[in-house]
Amino acid sequence: MLFYTVVKPVVQLALRVFFRRLEIRHHERLEHPGPMLIVSNHPNTLMDPLVVAANRREPIAFLAKSTFFKNPISRAIFLSGNCIPIYRRQDAESGDAGITPEELAQRNEAAFGQCYNYFDKGGSIQIFPEGTSVSERRLRPLKTGAARISLGAEARHDFKLGLRILPIGINYFDPSRFRSDVFVNIGKPIMVADYAAAYHADPEAAADALTEEIRRRLEQRLVITRDAAEDELVLQIERTFGEHLIPDDEETLYDNFQLSRALLEAVPYFEQHDPARLTQVREQLSAYLLDLDRLRLTDEALESSKGGASAGRGLRFRASSWYWAFPCMYTGSSTTTFPTFCRP
């Protein structure tokens, strides 16, 4: 705990330096007292738990994969940072965990016991139910561990513990870029006691149902793309037109989040109703960004320039034409978050 207390201010300072903006929606839900299991997506490895823990007054324990504890030095660091090792089936099968499947079950039972003791004292634990970290805007299939731990903890107290599951969507707008933005989107808690009847009827079915509810709640709090091509297109639009599509001077990261979700509704619409136009946008936007890269310019610099070479003027003309044309493409979709000047 001493290590956690000493390191936390350093992490808070580092986050302020690394991120241009870090915005938390419904922060009060993170500060709620009592036992809580925090579940979130996992796009950015060790950054994800830091973003959450550094912004909560009370300490958080973490469930981390056992391979982090193999090295004696890293083991000491993780244990002093309130981390509980969890043993994944794929690590035992590959030999990375250095244990047999039977030993895996025994050690995870012990890890679950640590979680139960933590909850009994009113503590909070964070878990990443995807089970692995991949830097993409997609939610991978969830493991049932979060649900099983929660139901097991409540069952020990006849479902009167008051344990809540808090879904948190961590949205990085450009995770590999220094001074980028991160939006932490906190959802409404799930009361585990609501699954008491289902658990008594069929524990496995209850765990599956709770896992599905966790997945649904997380999806509501995330920007999720279908594939790499869609992710690239939406990211290009966000970088090039984002500030024009959100005219409010008091722009928030929640505005950007809503914009991204709206764009992701619009892309499938135009794939179905006007695929040729969508292809044209992809090509023109890619060409524009390639020209910027070739000239070693940024869109922000181009936008703020007062004069410049003919190439710069040509690029600004192209950017301006797409600024007025592109947003209006979405007026036929079900989205209503775009500015009224885009609508006929």
What is the reported pLDDT for 184? 98
65-114 pLDDT, tens digit each: 888 898 899 998 888 888 999 988 776 666 666 778 888 889 999 999 99
What is the reported pLDDT for 222? 98
310-322 pLDDT, tens digit each: 455 455 445 444 4
In this structure, what token pair is assigned to residue 107? 């050690």
323-332 pLDDT, tens digit each: 444 444 444 4
pLDDT band for 12, please (50, 70, 90 cuts).
Answer: very high
pLDDT above 90 (res 250)? no
pLDDT band for 340, please (50, 70, 90 cuts).
Answer: very low
What is the reported pLDDT for 241? 78
| Mean pLDDT calculated for residue range 295-308 | 67
Backbone angles phi, psi at 242, to 5 degrees: -55, -50
Amino acid identity, residue 42?
Answer: H
189-202 pLDDT, tens digit each: 999 999 999 999 99
Residue 327 near residue 245 (C-beta atoms within 8 A): yes
**Average per-residue pLDDT in the chain?**
85
What is the reported pLDDT for 236? 86
What is the reported pLDDT for 77? 86
Boundaries of every domain in the chain? 2-220, 228-342
Cβ atoms < 10 Å from Cβ of 259: 23
User: What CATH number does domain 2-220 carry, 3.40.50.880, 3.90.1300.10, 3.40.1130.10, 3.40.50.10480?
Assistant: 3.40.1130.10
210-232 pLDDT, tens digit each: 999 999 999 999 999 999 999 99
Q: How far is C-alpha 140 from the chain's CA centre?
A: 11
pLDDT band for 40, please (50, 70, 90 cuts).
Answer: very high
Task: List C-alpha distances in Å: 6 to 1, 9, 135.
Answer: 9, 7, 29
pTM of the entire structure? 0.85
pLDDT above 70 (res 333)? no
pLDDT above 60 (res 253)? yes
What is the reported pLDDT for 306? 52
- Cα–Cα distance measured from residue 149 to residue 263, given in angstroms and rounded to the nearest whole number: 37
Cβ atoms < 10 Å from Cβ of 340: 7
Q: Which of 22-36, 64-78, 116-130 has the lowest mean pLDDT?
A: 64-78
In this structure, what token pair is assigned to residue 278? 């969508």
What is the reported pLDDT for 292? 86
**Percent of the chain scoring above 90 in pLDDT:** 56
What is the reported pLDDT for 328? 47
